[in-house]
Structure 1
Amino acid sequence: MRTQMSAGLVCLLLVCTSPVALGVESSPPAQIGTSDSDSSIDVRYAIDREPTQTGRVRVTATIERPRHVTGLSVRTPAETTVLRADGLRSDGDRWRLSGDTRTAQLTYTVPVGLSTTFGQRTAGTDNWTLLARQEVSLRARWRWRAGPRPRWNESLVLAPGQNGVAGRTAAYIGPHETELRTVDGDRITLVVPAAADLRPNRTAVLDSISHAKRASTAGTDHDHIRVFVAPNELAPGGYSPSNGESDVIVNAGEPVRSPVNVWVHEYRHTRETFETTPAMDWLSEGSADYHTAALTYSASGIEKDQFHERITTERHETADLTQPDSWDGPGAQYHKGTRVVAAIDARLRQATDGNRTFEAVLDGLTRRDERITLRLFAETVSAVAGDDLDAFVRQAVTDTAPSVQTDALTDRDLQRSGVADTTDRQANFAPSVDSSPATATSGDDEGKHGVGTARPVTDRHGEWTMLGTLGILSVVLVGRQRRRKRL
């Protein structure tokens, strides 16, 4: 018994003190030089246009390594030309921090021009540059032996003398104007390039996003949203470089008074911090598109018949949303996804006399410490409804889309009440327990023990990448128990 109690105490101590390894995790930009207190690996990318190389930018990456990080190497993006390395040495296709170097810099040029399934989202031209952070960012591996969990903490800045705006995950350099709106103490900045012919007026865009911000409750409520207007020559629609982050890109030609109001759609992606399994990836786009229509209707941006037509669409209605490979085109997650979410929202309102909405489902999923599966999704819907809706949800997602009780979504005067409930929210993230020494990776750079988890990177029609995370099991307890037996 005494041995069992001792083992239990040791196990508890290991759980409380074991270092934890995660992939890239979003956090506010850190000041370079404060890594000791933050225990994060801070990486700041200073962006400069290359006037003699159209389509490329010069990047100076400054890396701050905490003392307890014992090894760190980085890999540059594709087609990179390294110009200078300070405190790093070349090792094949990687650059390693030399010895005890705490601060290192790598200067390189890299092409700009990100394309998704539906067209080109960023570009570098003779007069302006619009880029997403993933185009210029390093991929890293690191190890540490003790102390708090190191994070890979990235930020963007513009090089001195550059005229533009840098956000967390996107940046624009070139002639532009900005329009600022304050909403309940938070800021929304609209960045309008001189090369962009903005179709709606700026007030209409900011009004639409402001209404969505006030009416939304689930997910992250950022204190500063940056909306980068993409010049008309780029792909129509919008793009979020990383869901849950505060930057979005929307083409200048996108209207506001539309059931697929892209300005609101991309705003909704800034609030999405939940993680999904591949079978539930549709939820990101389906819920964003449904709330886009609902929020635009509640702001009197569209008529009731336009709202009804959008949420009762028959397009892709027989698609199994859990089987993306079987879809007849990527539109299934938008069209059927919207209808499924609308049908569930209507059932929730009916079951709770209008007191709970689909926002409460998203809030519940955001709180969970696990990736969303169909089982977890159905359980959460049932919990919000206070009734067993498991069979209804599963059939809606995998079989023919259910009919939508539209009266439940409009009879309560949605235009005055909005679409949000007032459920308190708190975002939770799931750590992976690890033992020392530990390793971790950033971006798509898989480590020796890397385990992938999905984090969406979305445009109006959806695209995602993978961020690596790491988890290895502790063996210290077993070793101690064996030594006790030998004694």
Structure 2
Amino acid sequence: MRTQLFAGLVCLLLVCTSPVALGVESTPQVRGGADGDSSITVQYTIDREPDQTGQVRVTATIERPRHVTGLSVRTPAETTVHQADGLHFDGDRWRVSDEAGTARLTYTVPVGLSTTFGQRTADTRNWTLLARQEVSLHARWRWRVGPRPAWNESLALAPGQSGVAGSTAAYIGPHETETRTVDGDRITLVVPAASDLRPDRAAVLDSISHAKRVSTAGTDHDHTRVFVAPNELAPGGYTPSNGESDVIVNAGEPVRSPVNVWVHEYRHTRQTFETVPAMDWLSEGSADYHTAALTYSAGGVDTDQFRERVTTERHQTADLTRPDSWDGPGAQYHKGTRVVAAIDARLRQATDGSRTFEAVLDRLTRQGERVTLALFAETVSAVAGDDLDTFVRRAVTGTAPPVSTDTLTEHDLRRSGSADTTGRRTHFAPSVDSAATSAGDEPTHSVATGRPVTDRYGEWTVLGTLGMLSVLLVRRKRRRKRL
């Protein structure tokens, strides 16, 4: 009886809170392309400044759909605005004029992104390597009743510029490219003339191609761009936006290594799961473990090198859920790798090799919740078909468990992949030569693009309240089931 009464109440509210009943203005959606009229698109066209180094000129072209009733942007730090069409400055932000469907803002902005591991991008006399977040606008908007508009960003090069623009990184200057087609998708290696590439180009593409063929979880991009960073920039690698298709790897990084940075950064392009801060280690730990496994299965390292990597004792007592307690940033790379290796071995043992850690990542990617330790342990148990909750929790928060390396080397590791965020985290891989990190080398997480803050007017109704209550009830039910 209660269920019938509740259903009747919901039906009544659906009628009473509809846009027509409330008198809220609503614009019919017009779809065009992938996102149609519902997306706000901005293209950053990059031009080098011939008379000065250290900065670039950017023209941001903003296309606002009709149902977005208010849109304002803020430029990156130390920006100089040169021209504004269809926008006006209010002393704090640039606001798109009410009548403007297309607006343009031209500005110069510094280039030279540095992380704790060193400088990743630069603008020099002869070349420019940049990440999209260095030139991106930070936006806020309002819209009428309807789905939340997406904020879609892209990079382009100004006419006359020689280079390559990806989705989250771009290079301008003398260069060569080499492209490999894998299962109908492309991997493009962008090699600046200013770089001295240590491994053979074919070896780099072979290594990434193998990783692509084996990986099944996460996003499989139709075009992955690997920007080779000139040797003078920081060693190691850098992924400007997790889950996106661009990576930057220093030209000096080798391929035949259990910490193969080329593969490590590729793994990050497939990571689309989101974690709570206590589980951030999973991104690096899973990427590093599968890097070792894939390089081993491809013949890049021998069995002893693989075993040494996945059984490392470094940071073995670190509580991975408490990064503030670590004695150095390597915990997520070293203990994280060992924990994932131990879990992978347990899964293979429990399922006679039919399921691996790849299945865990696949499930975490497909579910819509941020990954907590409880959800992680629950997912591992579900994949294993056995209760591994205690094992997983102790492995993550206590001393690192032993790793059955025989299980890992006996089974076909070629079946072992990984799924290694807009506002996705940025990821770094330390150089092979700097694997012995110090306490002062803690990596930082930065935002790939300014996550737009949306102002939502004209659509918070009683129905919206009911929807929120429904979500909370479902989440509470899920938590009880886990307990």
After TM superposition, the score normalised by the length of structure 2 is: 0.86
Following superposition of structure 1 onto structure 2, how do residues 334-413 of structure 1 map, counting pairs within 5 Å? 334-413=333-412
| Helix, strand or coil at the partner of 1:51 | coil
How far did residue 92 of structure 1 move?
Answer: 1.4
Q: Which residue of structure 1 lines up, in the alignment, with residue 215 of structure 2?
A: 216
How far did residue 98 of structure 1 move?
Answer: 1.1
Q: Which residue of structure 1 lines up, in the alignment, with residue 475 of structure 2?
A: none
Give the one of 428, 448, 457 matched to 2:426: 457
Aligned-partner residue type, residue 426 of structure 2: V
8 A contact 2:294–2:417 mirrored in 1: no
1:419 equivalenced with 2:416 (yes/no): yes
How far did residue 9 of structure 1 move?
Answer: 1.4
Distance 1:64 1:471 in 2: 18
| Helix, strand or coil at the partner of 2:265 | helix
Distance 1:460 1:83 in 2: 37
| Helix, strand or coil at the partner of 1:456 | coil
Distance 1:13 1:191 in 2: 56
Q: Which residue of structure 2 lines up, in the alignment, with residue 253 of structure 1?
A: 252
8 A contact 1:178–1:189 mirrored in 2: yes
- Residues 127 and 16 (structure 1), Cα distance of their counterparts in 2 relative to 1, 3 Å cut: farther
Distance 1:419 1:463 in 2: 28
Identity of aligned residues (%): 76
8 A contact 2:238–2:265 mirrored in 1: yes
Distance 1:45 1:10 in 2: 47
Distance 1:270 1:11 in 2: 43
8 A contact 2:140–2:455 mirrored in 1: no
| Helix, strand or coil at the partner of 1:242 | coil
Deviations 1:116-149 (A, max 9, x none): 1100000000000000000000000000012332
8 A contact 2:79–2:107 mirrored in 1: yes
Distance 2:374 2:272 in 1: 19
Q: Which residue of structure 2 lines up, in the alignment, with residue 7 of structure 1?
A: 9
Aligned-partner residue type, residue 311 of structure 1: V
Aligned-partner residue type, residue 92 of structure 1: G
Q: Which residue of structure 2 lines up, in the alignment, with residue 96 of structure 1?
A: 95
8 A contact 1:112–1:131 mirrored in 2: yes
How far did residue 38 of structure 1 move?
Answer: 3.5
How far did residue 297 of structure 1 move?
Answer: 0.1
Following superposition of structure 1 onto structure 2, how do residues 41-190 of structure 1 map, counting pairs within 5 Å? 41-190=40-189
Aligned-partner residue type, residue 462 of structure 2: V
Distance 1:367 1:254 in 2: 33
Aligned-partner residue type, residue 461 of structure 2: V
8 A contact 1:275–1:372 mirrored in 2: yes
Distance 1:237 1:16 in 2: 54
1:329 equivalenced with 2:328 (yes/no): yes
How far did residue 418 of structure 1 move?
Answer: 4.1
| Helix, strand or coil at the partner of 2:446 | strand
Q: Which residue of structure 1 lines up, in the alignment, with residue 440 of structure 2?
A: none
8 A contact 1:35–1:64 mirrored in 2: no
- Residues 170 and 186 (structure 1), Cα distance of their counterparts in 2 relative to 1, 3 Å cut: same
Structure 1 residues without counterparts, runs of 5 or longer: 19-32, 430-441, 444-454, 481-487
Distance 1:228 1:419 in 2: 26
Structure 2 residues without counterparts, runs of 5 or longer: 21-31, 431-442, 467-483
After TM superposition, the score normalised by the length of structure 1 is: 0.85
Greater than 3 Å deviation, 4+ residue runs = 1-6, 10-18, 33-36, 466-475, 477-480
Distance 1:121 1:478 in 2: 44
Distance 1:204 1:478 in 2: 54
Distance 1:469 1:340 in 2: 36
Alpha-carbon RMSD: 2.6
